[in-house]
Amino acid sequence: MEIGQPGADMKQLVWVVILMSIVFGCAGCGPYKAGTQPSRVDMAELKSGHLSREKVIERLGKPRTVTRNSDGGTTERFEFYEGSDSTWKSTRIVVHALGDLVTLGAWEIVASPIEFFVRGGRLVGEAEFDQEGRLRSFVVLGRETMPAGKISEHQRGL
């Protein structure tokens, strides 16, 4: 009976445990990221002008800037992501979970970048509300975050 190097089996076992911990520790990020992506924003509903300020904030989040108008209303600027349709989000969750299961977590190398790119573009929108907080108008100003002065210049074509 031949005996190997003392502790070699233990070193190998430790490396396997470390590797498996890393793999299983990362597993689940793809499904989690897919599930927590923002829902698709219904632009037609926003542009219809039939929403209250509270409903707009519920859909887009807290405004980045609020400016009081001379008529008592407000003009508010929002930054938000286009988001994903709920069916598409559910499909991605299932695909990522199955990919993690079949590849013992190695799918995360693919899943994380996918989720970064499919969250949709970042938009800047401006909403104008009357003094009662009813939406008068909503306009998408651009697809990226720009300082307020740059957005104004962009609108004027400068």
The CATH number of 41-83+119-158 is which of 3.40.50, 3.90.25, 3.30.1450, 1.20.120? Answer: 3.30.1450
- Give, in order, the Cα–Cα distances in Å from 78 to each of 38, 118, 129: 15, 20, 13
User: Strand 65-68 to strand 122-129: parallel, antiparallel, or no bridges (unpaired)?
Assistant: unpaired
Residue 25: its pLDDT value, please? 64
Residue 147: its pLDDT value, please? 47
Residue 7: its pLDDT value, please? 67
- Give, in order, the Cα–Cα distances in Å from 4 to each of 11, 77, 115, 126: 12, 69, 46, 72
Residue 115: its pLDDT value, please? 85
Residue 24: its pLDDT value, please? 64
Residue 22: its pLDDT value, please? 67
Instruction: Tell me the pLDDT tens digit for each residue of 9-55.
Output: 888 888 888 877 766 666 678 888 888 888 888 888 888 878 999 99
Residue 122: its pLDDT value, please? 85
Higher pLDDT, 61 or 156: 61
